[in-house]
Amino acid sequence: MKTLLVTGGLGFIGSNFIRGSLNSGFCERVLNLDKQTYAGNPENLVEFARDSRYEFVLGDIRDAKLVSAVLEESKPDALVNFAAESHVDRSIDGPEPFVQTNVLGTLHLLEACRGHISSGIMKKDFRFLHVSTDEVYGSLDLQDQPFCEKTPYAPNSPYSASKAGADHLVRSYYHTFGIPTLTTNCSNNYGPYQFPEKLIPLMILNAIEGTPLPIYGDGGNVRDWLHVEDHCSGIRAVLQGGRLGETYCIGGNSERTNLQIVDEICGLLDHLRPEKAPHADLKTFVQDRPGHDRRYAIDFSKIRDELGWGPSHTFEQGLALTVDWYLGNLGWCESIASGNYQRERLGVT
């Protein structure tokens, strides 16, 4: 592809997608439209700051005028929508930003694309790819079959409900207006540049600092873990060969309980930093969060069979790489902990 418009590209998954797309030659140019909220960190893509293939646009996907102008100027081959509020705990504390960004923001993107497609501005083979989550499908019992593209929606948190609403809008714009949409629903991502409020980086950094490792409930909640680079390669596969109007589930084939995740991280750190072992002594069980889904799992046979995609990382390989990355990038972590990355955006000294 020549030009991609990526929304939310300063975040964890979006920045990894941009990096992989430019470094692999998947596209020639990327425009990154990002509101630069707390989870949007310019340091995630600092290596492209002076790269002519990359352009950053500061803005909100709810700004219809700005989105329209960016589309008209760039005439992208595809728009890939990563822009979202994504942390379940934050959605419980305050649901409205999730509805504003995840639902209304997606609506504004779709409307802008609809206007430019009908006017003939957009390329004929343009694609709108919406990145979503397996959480829209609700919770599985331990004996249930994994989620697939035909699983009924049953969101249990304000976050997952807002993503479900966005998914439904994307589907409706394909069937009602003929917008060339694609949707991907992924399992839990992990890897470099993930904001430290999420489970794996939180546990790595707390263990390094010798502070408690908080585990919700009994630690038995199960997630299917997907390395972010595998997720991004799956998105590129869908962009290249996915059937319009379709949904593709992207999973890692790596179900683990939260407790198993923490134990594996502790084991890796015991080897890498034996002077502070055993790190498992820091485990602390805390009150479970409201509406905590018990299990997620993804059946990715559709994308495997249609597009030949599968994850390239085993969980053990991916987690070891992730722990190594955080140990080697403590400056990035300290910038987030101190808030310096946000002060630079606001011009605060």
* Residues noted as catalytic: 134-135, 159
Q: Which has the closest alpha carbon to 9: 27, 21, 23?
A: 21
What would the DSSP string read from start to end of 272-326? H-GGG--GGGGEEEEPPPTT---B--B--HHHHHHH-------HHHHHHHHHHHH
Beta bridge partners of 214: 284
- Determine which helix (DSSP H) or strand (DSSP E) holds 256, and give its type and residue range: strand 255-257
Q: How many CA atoms lie within 13 A of 75 on its CB side?
A: 7
Residue 348 exposed, middle or buried by CB count within 10 Å (0-12, 13-18, 19+): exposed
Distance from CA of residue 199 to its chain's centroid?
14
Q: Are 41 and 34 in contact (CB under 8 A)?
A: no
Beta bridge partners of 34: 58
Residues, the chain: 349
Buried/exposed code over 126-152 (b: 16+ C-beta within 10 A; e: otherwise): bbbbbbbbbbbbbbbeeeeebbbbebe
